[in-house]
């Protein structure tokens, strides 16, 4: 039987041609190469290197017996904790009823697009799954131009240009900061200007703040402060609490968008039903915070900042053009300065660049083409996460507790990152 010509095996046209998530693909390839005995430095998947805080792990252990289906919108006590968390951090006045819980913020984004019929506006570069999700659902995607000399940040002017041609068209704008893939973030003035344009055109603004707590200076601010009536805040446990595999995400809605929240809950009730009960109970401990959580975040930020600065300097010294990260654990270096040398080796795309680098050095990074750029844009995303996060936190809070972190700390805490930079530098010099 030829399944390609059998109607029973017809595949949705929106899925044809879409590859599995780039970040998961590079992780699986890296693991496969490692299983074959190759030394692979994993800078592809953006998974937090830090352990889940011990008290949060204890809460999960304590509630492992919880087996009931929970309410579709989430456990009330967790929704109360998240509301309290966002009110403390962003000076908001949300209530528990404004909170929706899901099995990862990725799933919530997907059902948001199912519930709201509108175009998706995405600044370029952006996280790898925003656009594929929209294509799977059948929504139009509009990439918004950004520029390296502005740290790849969306400007209010560029947003206005896109919206002014059809002022009443329903649209969802995704704003992610600190940014995956650049590590850059927005100033208050930039957020205020974007908020004013969003209000002008009545946009639904999804503020993806999953990396907010790992702003290196602990000074993240939500654009919801400036556009409260139209902003949905997205966050979760994966990036700041090291719990990516736990799959717990949350959206915080303004009261004005309660009908949209209710529509998403209807979709959730017919798809994933509810988020894992033990995970939700443990999430209360994380979002309630405490001195131990504050210390965990303080040391996480210190570690990520010094590593980010080290990687930025090394890449710049190699000849790459790269913006200095302000949060998260990413860099987005541009290797266009090596275009002539790369072309002589028939390396003309970012995909070919990353493939050759992996084969030659064992350093795994992701091509710019996965983040919305044309194939020949010679840039890549580097996730500086291949280090022992537990050991780094212990070192930072112990021997280095009372001193500024510098290169000697990076060499102790992140030897594989130093090795990656050495290998990349040698490879570029050999072109």
pLDDT per residue as tens digits for the range 144-198? 999 999 999 999 999 999 999 899 999 999 999 999 999 999 999 999 999 999 9
Question: Does residue 118 share a domain with residue 107?
Answer: yes
Q: Which of 253, 273, 289 marks a domain boundary?
A: 289
Q: How far apart are CA 431 and CA 429, in angstroms?
A: 6
- Number of structural domains (the chain) is 2
46 pLDDT band (50/70/90 cuts)? confident
pLDDT per residue as tens digits for the range 201-254? 999 999 999 999 999 999 999 999 999 999 999 999 999 999 999 999 999 999
Mean pLDDT (the chain) is 93
DSSP assignment of 14-56 equals: TTTTPPS-HHHHHHHHHHHHHHTT---EE-SS----SPPPHHH
**How high is the pLDDT of residue 3?**
46
pLDDT per residue as tens digits for the range 325-371? 999 999 999 999 999 999 999 999 999 999 999 989 999 999 999 99
pLDDT per residue as tens digits for the range 82-124? 999 999 999 899 999 999 999 999 999 999 999 999 999 999 9
For the chain, give the percent of residues with pLDDT over 70.
Answer: 94
Q: Which of 289, 313, 339 marks a domain boundary?
A: 289
Question: Does residue 309 share a domain with residue 281?
Answer: no
The yes-or-no verdict on residue 400 having pLDDT over 90 is: yes
**How high is the pLDDT of residue 129?**
86
What 3-state class would DSSP assign to 12?
A: coil
The yes-or-no verdict on residue 289 having pLDDT over 80 is: yes
Question: Does residue 365 share a domain with residue 239?
Answer: no
pLDDT per residue as tens digits for the range 313-328? 999 999 999 999 999 9
Of 404 and 33, the structure prediction assigns the larger pLDDT to 404
**How high is the pLDDT of residue 178?**
97
The yes-or-no verdict on residue 14 having pLDDT over 80 is: no
Domain of 352: which CATH number?
Answer: 3.90.1150.10
Question: Does residue 225 share a domain with residue 80?
Answer: yes
Question: Does residue 186 share a domain with residue 328?
Answer: no
Structural domain span for residue 221? 54-289
Question: Does residue 80 share a domain with residue 29?
Answer: no
Q: Which of 271, 289, 307 marks a domain boundary?
A: 289
Question: Does residue 298 share a domain with residue 216?
Answer: no
The yes-or-no verdict on residue 15 having pLDDT over 50 is: yes
Question: Does residue 158 share a domain with residue 121?
Answer: yes
Q: How far apart are CA 311 and CA 333, in angstroms?
A: 10
**How high is the pLDDT of residue 1?**
44
CA distances for 59 relative to 53, 55, 86, 131, 290, angstroms: 10, 6, 21, 36, 14
The yes-or-no verdict on residue 409 having pLDDT over 70 is: yes
**How high is the pLDDT of residue 18?**
57
375 pLDDT band (50/70/90 cuts)? very high
Domain of 146: which CATH number?
Answer: 3.40.640.10
Question: Does residue 326 share a domain with residue 259?
Answer: no
**How high is the pLDDT of residue 26?**
65
Q: List all residues 6 or more positions away from 245 whose beta carbon is below 8 Å from its beta carbon.
A: none
Question: Does residue 343 share a domain with residue 216?
Answer: no
Sheet holding 204-208, edge to edge: 99-102, 249-252, 231-236, 204-208, 171-176, 119-123, 141-144
Question: Does residue 380 share a domain with residue 244?
Answer: no
Mean pLDDT of 266-282: 96
The yes-or-no verdict on residue 8 having pLDDT over 80 is: no
Question: Does residue 401 share a domain with residue 313?
Answer: yes
């Amino acid at each position: 039987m030829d399944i390609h010509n059998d109607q029973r095996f017809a595949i949705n046209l929106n899925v044809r041609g879409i590859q599995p998530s780039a970040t998961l693909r590079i992780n699986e390839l890296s693991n496969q190469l490692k299983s074959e005995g190759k030394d692979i430095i994993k800078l592809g998947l953006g998974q937090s290197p830090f352990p889940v805080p011990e008290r949060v792990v204890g809460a999960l252990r304590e509630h492992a017996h919880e087996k009931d289906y929970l309410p579709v919108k989430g456990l009330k006590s967790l929704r109360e904790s998240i509301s309290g968390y966002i009110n403390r951090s962003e000076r908001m006045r949300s209530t528990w009823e404004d909170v929706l819980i899901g099995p990862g913020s990725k799933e919530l984004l997907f059902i948001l697009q199912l519930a709201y019929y509108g175009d998706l506006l995405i600044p370029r570069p952006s996280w790898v799954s925003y656009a594929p999700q929209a294509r799977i659902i059948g929504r139009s995607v509009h990439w918004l131009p950004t520029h390296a000399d502005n740290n790849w940040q969306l400007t209010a002017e560029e947003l206005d240009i896109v919206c002014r041609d059809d002022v009443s068209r329903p649209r969802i704008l995704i704003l992610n900061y600190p940014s995956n893939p650049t590590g850059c973030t927005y100033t208050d003035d930039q957020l205020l200007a974007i908020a004013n344009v969003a209000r002008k055109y009545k946009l639904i603004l999804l503020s993806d703040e999953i990396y907010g707590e790992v702003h290196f200076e602990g000074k993240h601010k939500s654009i919801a402060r400036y556009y409260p009536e139209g902003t949905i805040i997205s966050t979760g446990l994966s990036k700041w609490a090291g719990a990516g595999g736990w799959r717990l995400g949350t959206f915080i809605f303004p009261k004005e968008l309660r009908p949209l929240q209710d529509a998403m809950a209807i979709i959730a009730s017919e798809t994933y039903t509810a988020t894992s009960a033990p995970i939700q109970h443990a999430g209360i401990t994380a979002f309630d915070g405490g001195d131990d959580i504050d210390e965990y975040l303080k040391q996480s930020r210190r570690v990520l900042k010094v590593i980010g600065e080290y990687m930025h300097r090394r890449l710049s010294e190699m000849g790459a053009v790269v913006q200095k990260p302000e949060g998260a654990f990413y860099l987005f270096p541009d290797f266009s300065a090596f275009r002539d040398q790369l072309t002589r080796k028939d390396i003309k795309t970012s995909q070919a660049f990353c493939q050759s680098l992996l084969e030659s050095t064992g350093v795994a990074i992701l091509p710019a083409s996965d983040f919305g750029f044309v194939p020949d844009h010679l840039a890549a995303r580097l996730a500086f996460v291949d280090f022992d996060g537990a050991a780094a936190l212990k070192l930072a809070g112990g021997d280095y507790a009372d001193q500024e972190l510098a290169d000697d700390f990076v060499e102790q805490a992140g030897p594989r990152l130093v090795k990656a930079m050495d290998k990349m530098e040698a490879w570029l010099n050999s072109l």
